[in-house]
């Protein structure tokens, strides 16, 4: 349980840090150069464009990896919750069964006692 909490805390920190950093894919200059087309760029613009394109690819890959890890954590949490629900259901069934048989046995003893007292 502690490991899941630490893992979720780590994921929260990672995702919040990614959310706080601006995406290189949203860089205004990069988007403007992309609209103009690679063939219409000067050498310095092409260098800038290439650098931002690499950064954007890395950013998108990191975002995908974070999404996969988050999905795995959510899956593990759901699995633990289902296991806990199954355990609680079995526990409740046992309690009901126990009380049922105690009641049946108690009723049998009561009626046997009443029958003996009547004779």
User: Could you tell me if residue 84 is inside a domain?
Assistant: yes
User: Could you tell me if residue 117 is inside a domain?
Assistant: no
- For 49, the domain range is 2-91
User: Could you tell me if residue 64 is inside a domain?
Assistant: yes
pLDDT reported for residue 51: 92
Number of Cβ within a 10 Å radius of residue 45: 15
Domain count, the chain: 1
How many Å apart are CA 57 and CA 16, to the nearest integer? Answer: 19
User: Could you tell me if residue 107 is inside a domain?
Assistant: no
How many Å apart are CA 3 and CA 97, to the nearest integer? Answer: 36
How many Å apart are CA 82 and CA 77, to the nearest integer? Answer: 9
pLDDT reported for residue 81: 82
User: Could you tell me if residue 31 is inside a domain?
Assistant: yes
pLDDT reported for residue 6: 57
Instruction: Report residues of the chain scoring pLDDT below 50.
Output: none
User: Could you tell me if residue 63 is inside a domain?
Assistant: yes
CA atoms within 13 A on the CB side of 67: 6
User: Could you tell me if residue 22 is inside a domain?
Assistant: yes
User: Could you tell me if residue 106 is inside a domain?
Assistant: no
């Amino acid at each position: 349980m502690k490991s899941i909490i630490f893992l979720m805390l780590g994921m929260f920190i990672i995702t919040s840090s990614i959310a706080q950093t601006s995406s290189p894919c949203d860089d205004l200059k990069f988007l403007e150069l992309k609209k103009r087309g690679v063939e219409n760029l000067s050498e310095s613009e092409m260098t800038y464009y290439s650098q931002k394109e690499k950064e954007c690819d890395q950013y998108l890959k990191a975002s995908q990896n974070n999404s996969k890890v988050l999905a795995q954590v959510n899956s593990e949490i759901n699995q633990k919750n289902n296991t806990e629900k199954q355990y609680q259901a079995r526990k409740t069934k046992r309690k009901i069964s126990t009380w049922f048989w105690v009641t049946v046995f108690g009723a049998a003893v009561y009626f046997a006692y009443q029958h003996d007292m009547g004779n």
